[in-house]
Amino acid sequence: MIDRDDPIVTTDLARLPAHAMAAALRTGEASATELAAAHLDRIETEDGGLHAWLHVDRAGVTAAARESDVVLARARADGPAALAGLHPLHGIPVALKDLISVRGGPVTAGSRILAGYRAPYDAHVTERLRSAGAVILGKTNMDEFAMGSSTEHSAYGPTANPWDLERVPGGSSGGSAAAVAAHHAPVALGTDTGGSIRQPASHCGVVGMKPTYGRVSRYGIVAFASSLDQVGPFARDVRDAAALLHAIAGRDDRDSTSAPVPVPDGLLSLPASDDEAASALRGVRLGLPREYFVEGMEPGVAAVVREAVDGLRSAGAIVEEVSLPHTDYGLATYYIVAPAEASANLARYDGIRYGLSVRDGDVLADYLATRGRGFGPEVKRRIILGTYALSAGYYDAFYGTAQKVRTLIRADFDAVWASGVDAVVAPTSPGVAWRFGEKLDDPVAMYLTDVCTLPVNMAGLPGISVPAGLSGGLPVGLQLIGRPWGELELLRLARGHEAVTAAAAWRTVEPPGLAALRAGEAPTPAERVAALGAGDR
């Protein structure tokens, strides 16, 4: 809910990419206050029909934007060098998935068990954004504890997809993806444990990147699976995603898994020219894994991906078929490792230290009641699976074996890199966004929607989803997978794809749901679910 204290300036600023916003801020054609107001106006008018947001602090956003304007005015007075010294995200609104800590603000992780909790400190990525001068708009909706692929598992209700308000945006970072697609924020952060950035990016027609494991600190992030979780950017174009990654990446001593690997400054200098960007594709060797065109993949999705691959080939890329033979084991391996780590991480929610606390009797009764009422069905399902996998007599058979297979999945990619392939190109998801309720009663069917993204997390590699076209009027994502720490090279390839498809007709199509959202006529997603007969959660 937004407390409306000041008049809002309604402009078209919110439709600009972040790099164009940055240019307008430096020339004085726009102010950070105007940018923030333009986005707040859209959120207030449209989010009833979208439900991408869980918390927006209007007063805090306005104050931060005014501070950014003071710094910008001082830099303009000091001359071009001072302006050039500002980070490209200075004054730019950013959305955060609601498992990222912002000091003094609520952090729900989409769960009722964290009701009433306020973060006592900033996450590392929040600190980095503040240091860059970005303006944090608020927190976006998500599947509870990032467990889900549709954002239907949020305890606070589902989020709609701007391309079809009766469909899911993907998940678990569905709120961030929908907010960017609907022009509620130019860029956003999500987390990716098994595809939770790339899959919703594909379904919402935006760019989404999972960095190499360890590239971005997880300090201050509500944990799901500690060996898999990674924070990454959403944007409407590749250059903006690169700038956001630059702002948040780097070593953090508070996170032992954060790697001391330099952040390349080239992230801020991807080519603006389409001709220059497309030239990055010439001579690049791309591997097309046969295993990623899985049984059950929608024909329209496969056709769009193959057309996109043909476009890369026409631009000078060398595309060759490769094999990643242990891909078929990725889904089963993930659903041993991730629930096992989740069961350990979620043990801390006991009703004693923070969040929901139910008093039903003695200590054990309180503990059981708090967790019983605080966690939703998907979280309970994964805790049970994970606890079983870690239990005496089953640890070696399940968790130990899964870790061995995980090593084999990583070895498959290592063999591809050793053959001279520069990047792997594949579908992001086997299908387009589905209707509310369509997969809720069949968890395995929902798990299968991440089959193309899970191996990247198991191997700790960087991956990015970029829009590739439309199937049945809905977005399809093309996934690029790179070598460890190869984010810059991957983003250059993604920018090249963006360049060679710049004139494609599908790029001119606006998400059809935006008109209803802007008119304020769209029912809430919860009302749509009820009307569609999707059932009660």
Quick check: is 339 in a domain? no
Quick check: is 104 in a domain? yes
Q: Which domain holds residue 101?
A: 13-331+400-532
Structure tokens at 36: 């923030």
Residue-level pLDDT at 444: 87
Quick check: is 155 in a domain? yes
Amino acid at 175: G
Neighbours of 3 (CB within 10 A): 9
By mean pLDDT, which of 60-64, 103-107, 126-130, 441-445 is the weakest? 441-445
Quick check: is 247 in a domain? yes
Q: How far is residue 428's CA from residue 471's CA, in Å, rounded to a whole number? A: 14
Convert the pLDDT of each residue in 223-240 to its tens digit: 999 999 999 999 999 999
Q: What is the CA radius of gyration of the chain?
A: 22
Tell me the three state secondary structure of residue 249. Answer: coil
Quick check: is 450 in a domain? yes
Structure tokens at 51: 């439900």
Quick check: is 374 in a domain? no
The single-letter DSSP state of residue 294 is -
Structure tokens at 55: 């918390």
Q: How many domains does the chain have?
A: 1
Average pLDDT over residues 107-123: 96
> Which of 31, 68, 149, 172 does the annotation list as catalytic?
172
Sheet of 423-427, strands arranged across: 53-56, 135-140, 93-97, 187-191, 231-235, 207-210, 463-471, 474-481, 423-427, 285-289, 318-322
Residues 53/185, Cβ–Cβ less than 8 Å: no
> Which of 97, 139, 210, 439 does the annotation list as catalytic?
97
The single-letter DSSP state of residue 136 is E
Tell me the three state secondary structure of residue 335. Answer: helix
Convert the pLDDT of each residue in 134-171 to its tens digit: 999 999 999 999 999 999 999 999 999 999 999 999 99
Q: Is 172 a catalytic residue?
A: yes
Alpha helices in 51-169, H assignment, sequence order: 58-78, 80-84, 124-132
Quick check: is 8 in a domain? no
Residue-level pLDDT at 464: 98
Q: How far is residue 148's CA from residue 447's CA, in Å, rounded to a whole number? A: 8
Residue-level pLDDT at 443: 87
Q: Give the rounded percent of residues in the chain with a pLDDT score beyond 90.
A: 90
Amino acid at 130: R
The single-letter DSSP state of residue 14 is G
Convert the pLDDT of each residue in 248-291 to its tens digit: 999 999 999 999 999 999 999 999 999 999 999 999 999 999 99
Burial of 390 (0-12, 13-18, 19+ CB in 10 A): middle
Q: How far is residue 438's CA from residue 105's CA, in Å, rounded to a whole number? A: 34
> Which of 154, 196, 343, 471 does the annotation list as catalytic?
196
Q: How many residues does the chain have?
A: 537
Quick check: is 366 in a domain? no
What b/e sequence results for 182-221 when a residue is b if at least 16 CB atoms lie within 10 Å of its CB, and e otherwise? bbbbbbbbbbbbbbbbbbbbbbbbbbbbbbbbbbbbbbbb
Residue 191's domain is classified under what CATH number?
3.90.1300.10
Expressed in percent and rounded to 5, the helix, strand and coil fractions of the chain are 45, 15, 40
